[in-house]
Amino acid sequence: MTPFTDSLREWRKHRKMSQLDLALSADVSQRHVSWLETGRSAPSREMVVRLSDAMDVPLRERNSLLNAAGFTDVYSEFKLDEPEMTSVKNILTEMLKHHEPYPAFVLDRHWNIKLMNQAATALFELGGPAKHAWQAVNDDGNHNIALLTLHPKGLRQFISNWHEIVGPFVRRLKCEAFESGDPELMTRYKELARYMDNDPGINLSEPLLPMMPINYDIGGVRLSLCSVISTFGTAQDITTDELRVETFYPADKATANYFRK
């Protein structure tokens, strides 16, 4: 066995695919998949990429698979403020701008806020200076929206329908973490999940509704918002692949009027 054989098998099982499923999806023979998993055959760089496509492996983890097979990284990773990411940042900035007067922000894979529009800034400051809110939840400077939402001293105290939305919200975090196959992200999710301990109102087994608005009551201002998450469809850079744009829309006329003013 080699690091690649173990990783390939783990990813196949993580995606709940049989060897036949993977073979059909990757357009190779089941025997070849079997030989790759037992080490009887060594994969080419192209084969690693093809199998990764078939299993929908995130770009970060595709590099890990390539490394395990003895190849160098294929996918780059640039920070959002580096010159190589100028076009990506411009697109994101335009998206945030065009979503005004409603809140929108860009998140990385750890749910840290990378960019946000003026409406999002205003929303965070309804309860007072935003820096005080981040300090209250012991944020490490990354401005983690999941932490701010789940922490008892964060947005959670202002969410009037908390026990309705926390189940779907946590399921979303869990799904994103475990689907990614990223051990670091799964560890981060487990850290955040501790804030739900001993909360008798949380029920993670309830069925999901088509849409669950988040109702805020902050300093007498009542808002009802629903969110939509967008991603880049053809990302070839790790950072771009992991970015999420979360846009909020009013769930009632009162909320729409508030933001339009």
The answer to whether the beta carbons of residues 85 and 79 sit under 8 Å apart is yes
- CB contact at 8 A, 11 and 65: yes
Which sign does the torsion angle of CA 176, 182, 185, 187 carry?
positive
Domain boundary residue among 68, 91, 109?
Answer: 68
73 touches 63 (CB < 8 A): yes
Average pLDDT over residues 62-73: 96
Domain end marker among 68, 94, 125: 68
Question: What is the pLDDT averaged over residues 80-90?
Answer: 96
Whether residue 209 is predicted with pLDDT greater than 70 in this model: the reply is: no
Same domain, 99 and 195: yes
Q: How confident is the model at residue 210 (pLDDT cuts 50, 70, 90)?
A: low
> Residue 135: which domain range?
83-260
Given this model, what pLDDT does residue 204 score?
Answer: 53
- The average confidence (pLDDT) of the chain is 92
Average pLDDT over residues 5-14: 96
Give the tens place of pLDDT for each residue, 146-167: 999 999 999 999 999 998 888 8
Q: What single DSSP character describes residue 144?
A: B
Mode of pairing for the β-strands spanning 214-218 and 113-116: unpaired
Domain count, the chain: 2
Is residue 185 domain-resident?
yes
Question: Cβ distance 195 to 211 under 8 Å?
Answer: no
Q: How many CB atoms lie within 10 A of CB 59?
A: 20
Residues 96-143 pLDDT 10s: 999 999 999 999 999 999 999 999 999 999 888 989 999 999 998 899
**CA 166, chain centre distance (Å):** 16
Q: Check residue 207 and give its pLDDT.
A: 54
Count of other CB atoms within 10 angstroms of residue 196: 15
Do both 94 and 198 map to the same domain? yes
When comparing pLDDT for 12 and 164, which is higher?
12
Q: In a 3-state reduction of DSSP, which class is residue 253?
A: helix
- Report the SS3 class of residue 53: helix
Looking at the DSSP bridge assignments, the partners of residue 247 are 104, 228
Q: Tokens representing 210? A: 């088509």
Query: Do 131 and 40 belong together in one domain?
Result: no
Q: Are residues 242 and 127 in the same domain?
A: yes
The answer to the question of residue 22 being in a domain is yes
Read off the CATH number of the domain in which 232 is found: 3.30.450.180
Residue 116 or residue 168, greater confidence:
116
Residues 153 and 213 both lie in one domain: yes
User: Residue 48 in contact with residue 66, Cβ under 8 Å?
Assistant: yes
pLDDT of residue 212: 78
Residue 26 pLDDT: 96
The 10s digit of each residue's pLDDT in 250-259 is 999 999 999 9
